[in-house]
Chain A
């Protein structure tokens, strides 16, 4: 014969099973009457059975039967509330829906990486692929092959970090162009991007910054193609209203070379402080690949021509997100980084 106490435990399990099946008000009512009914209710009967329990077990029995009663009452209330909410959701005021949602913590992608990814996207669409190379370079790839002769003043514009082993930190991503042209034959259309370094550190210059360079080498590449490519690229990056202007300049590795300006993004070309009232912003450098560079890479400049361009990603990122100086870009302040959402 089972003891009154273990019987109570069984009843508790039985109630759980029955309660789980209640799905409407009628079933709920039936459950309530079966367990809490004034006369025949199971709980009532168990309470009444108190007297039959041996005296030494009465204390435990009393506690157990009261616990069962509490559990049944609680469960019935809960089921009632659940059914009510399901029956009349519009009327229910159970939730303050204006409470804040629980947002998963979103991460963020660095402004420079965002801009880089967008540039890659644009050029992927134009049929370019991405090429990479080392950040520690030697003089040959960083300078000599790019037509910077030793002891030439053009090197003055490239304040260089030298390493104690004689190598250097690349001052531009152009060495990747050299490595690619030496490894592959035209047609070539690549985008090189990554970290670059200059021995410079002030509010406007960071000793490390990011560049993207493009290179196209094939038969019949013209200066007009350079213009068209930059026009398409810059309009997609800065908006369709953007005007693009090329003016002659000098880089040792392109001939002719051009500085490329776009309509000032601050004033739309009307002239403001940022653009020194010119309405233009210098955005990148470009040109036709110097035949000396092609020849150095084993590409016949009589047959092939090409263009190249290079742009600082950091300035574009600063411009896009309104970041006032380049140092802030590398502070890695999460309060800033996490504002960058697209």
Chain B
């Protein structure tokens, strides 16, 4: 929000701009830009939503006056009223409690024309366009006091009556911006005897606008309920300087002074006479006095510093909180009307929360004077989530296996949702009601569609090999909890034989997964499956107990320059004990190795062979595994050679070759019998 130094200077003696910026920033009004323009300086200030009182020059001047201990010179309108009573000219009817105050003044016989240079310059300094003296005056008062003002051409107000009421079904209004708007009963309006003439607190109507021929104006300076304004503005998609202030909360005692101020300026700059009296309809019960107590001892304990008691009291007084001593170092405070909305959420007993009051003293003294300290809390917090540590281990293992971690959006295209099996995806995906684009319409139920896009991104840039992983949440929808999943995608290979790296195939991904399982003291188990989006014959489900906790396979897409393989797994399938398993002391005695080449039908699953060896219970067999598989020359069609290695070892002695040979012989006989090739 822009502020003019010269404008500010009308109400307070302005210090040097850099000092001003520094102190305002330290008090919570962050000066984000300082721009010199002619003999003026424009300050760009970030005024937070809780400080509508500072969204105008007088309000800002009030803070400057306190911070620099200088007097504040608020305007005091001087009016010479005519004999004609305002009440004889116009009648006000409040048909809703959402307008707690409506002040009207009438100025007759004005002459609409250009504004004087000083007014134009001030408005232009803060980026406002000068229109004519009447409009400029209303705008000036808004930026002076924060009170939104509307000026009607009195002649255009039918029946000399103003009614604040909600719109009726089917009513229409062409607003000042030339748009014809359809209204509905959720929109608070200003109406005359016949029709709606303005959107309350948002924008006026074109028909009753002040024009060059306007002679008499009706000044509206009202307070509208902020929720009513907000809902109406949102419904119409409008956001104006007026609605911005009403939504955040204007000064509820500011209506009358602002109406007088406009009248004074109209007389001064546009001629005319102010009629006698302002029409006022204050609802005193609407705004109670907000009070609270500050206990200096508690303030110091809260801030962690010793504030001087007189200083604290001084700041509360200067800020308008009218401090009264309540004994025992306590101060009784009343919230000033312009700060009403910053304190409206009170305690159940109606008292203002002390922290809300503490803040005022703390920001005035500045946070810099509070010494930095570390809290002394005996023991560390022991509530850590295990998920976090587990995720870190998965991440580190996958990175150490050569995979790069990707992060994708948690949402994606609806069409992509069904591309791959996903996890826990039955029924419809969770849809985003206000998506940014077609690309991001549903919450993901699989990491893989977006991960596949990431792989394609790399492929388009000529990546000879892709290895990516992601850890993230899936959203099955309904009552189901979010599922944390691990996804992998890989394909391609090194184009440099020197590096002796292999082409990525399904068994690389499976191996990574097996390592991951081993890290979690468990064993990967898969079973063949037919799965959507994966090449038939390559797909398998990852088994966890009696259910599938994931799947893997080759992506079914003939357009890819090389095959891509994927894995998706629920993190929950990786279970771990509280403590790692104890290690087994290795034998001091030498081991003996033996190899066996088994020719068997292609249909025989390795899992069965492995199972048979494990089940044979061979003495002193400490490990075994697949050394290689070979089919081709010398191997009958339909068969394959599996070469299996065996490692024998005993804890208490050296094994003899004869012992091992014996074991091997019976193992060979058993394997040949069960799986051997019969032609």
Contacts and interface: CB of A to CB of B under 8 A. Distances in A.
B45 to A, nearest CB: 12
A258 B404 contact: no
A188 interface: yes
A195 B473 CA distance: 9
Interface in B408-434: 408-411, 430-434
B405 A108 contact: yes
Contacts of B33: 276
B353 interface: yes
Interface in A244-259: 245-250, 255-256, 258-259
B633 interface: no
Contacts of A216: 375, 377
Contacts of A335: 458, 461, 463
Interface string B363-399: 1000110111111011111111101110010011011
Contacts of A100: 498
A102 interface: yes
B122 to A, nearest CB: 25
A150 to B, nearest CB: 8
A199 interface: yes
B372 A163 contact: no
A197 B433 CA distance: 14
A224 B303 contact: yes
A248 B27 contact: yes
Interface string B572-585: 00000000000000
A7 interface: no
A147 B345 contact: yes
B443 A163 contact: yes
B49 interface: yes
B370 A224 contact: yes
Contacts of B401: 107
Given A218-B377, A248-B27, A332 B406 contact: yes
Contacts of B457: 331-333
A229 B374 contact: yes
28 contacts: A100-B498, A102-B499, A113-B407, A117-B392, A128-B380, A129-B383, A134-B482, A135-B482, A151-B227, A153-B49, A164-B432, A165-B430, A180-B383, A184-B383, A188-B381, A189-B381, A195-B473, A222-B373, A224-B305, A227-B373, A228-B374, A249-B30, A250-B48, A250-B49, A276-B32, A290-B353, A291-B355, A337-B404
Contacts of A281: none
Contacts of B475: 135-136
Contacts of A108: 399, 404-405
Contacts of B278: none
Interface string B545-577: 000000000000000000000000000000000
Contact of A338 (B372, B385, B404, B481): B404
A161 interface: yes
Q: 7 closest A-B pairs (Cβ-Cβ)?
A: A224-B304, A222-B304, A248-B28, A250-B48, A129-B384, A127-B380, A107-B399
B353 A130 contact: no
Contacts of B458: 332-335
Contact of A227 (B50, B367, B382, B405): B367
Contact of A127 (B28, B230, B368, B381): B381
A208 B398 contact: no
B353 A255 contact: yes
Interface string A154-188: 10110001111100010000000000100010011
Interface residues of B, number: 98
Nearest to A107: B399
Given A117-B392, A131-B385, A223 B433 contact: no
Nearest to B389: A130
A108 B463 CA distance: 16
Nearest to A294: B355
Nearest to B231: A151
B577 to A, nearest CB: 20
Interface of A: 99-100, 102-110, 112-113, 117, 120, 126-132, 134-136, 147, 149, 151, 153-154, 156-157, 161-165, 169, 180, 184, 187-190, 195, 197, 199, 201, 207-208, 216, 218, 220-225, 227-229, 231-232, 245-250, 255-256, 258-259, 276, 288, 290-292, 301, 305, 329-335, 337-338
B118 interface: no
Given A163-B432, A169-B410, A332-B468, 9 more contacts: A113-B407, A129-B382, A161-B435, A162-B433, A207-B409, A224-B372, A247-B367, A330-B408, A337-B405
A104 B494 CA distance: 11
B378 to A, nearest CB: 8
Contacts of A333: 457-458, 461
Given A107-B403, A163-B430, A163-B432, A223 B380 contact: no
A190 B383 CA distance: 8
B467 interface: yes
Nearest to A251: B48
B374 A329 contact: no
Given A105-B402, A129-B382, A225 B373 contact: yes
Contact of B468 (A105, A164, A208, A334): A334
A334 B302 contact: no
A292 B407 CA distance: 36
A261 B430 CA distance: 38
A102 B367 contact: no
Nearest to B356: A255
B291 to A, nearest CB: 17
B669 interface: no
A332 B49 CA distance: 37
A303 to B, nearest CB: 11
A250 B356 CA distance: 11
B21 to A, nearest CB: 9
B432 to A, nearest CB: 5
Contacts of A147: 345
B358 interface: yes
B407 A248 contact: no
A78 to B, nearest CB: 22
A165 to B, nearest CB: 7
Contact of B383 (A105, A131, A301): A131
A199 B393 CA distance: 32
Contacts of B380: 127-129, 189
Contact of A248 (B248, B363, B431): B363
Nearest to B463: A334
Nearest to B348: A295
A337 B406 CA distance: 8
A120 B391 CA distance: 13
Interface string B43-84: 000001111000000000000000000000000000000000
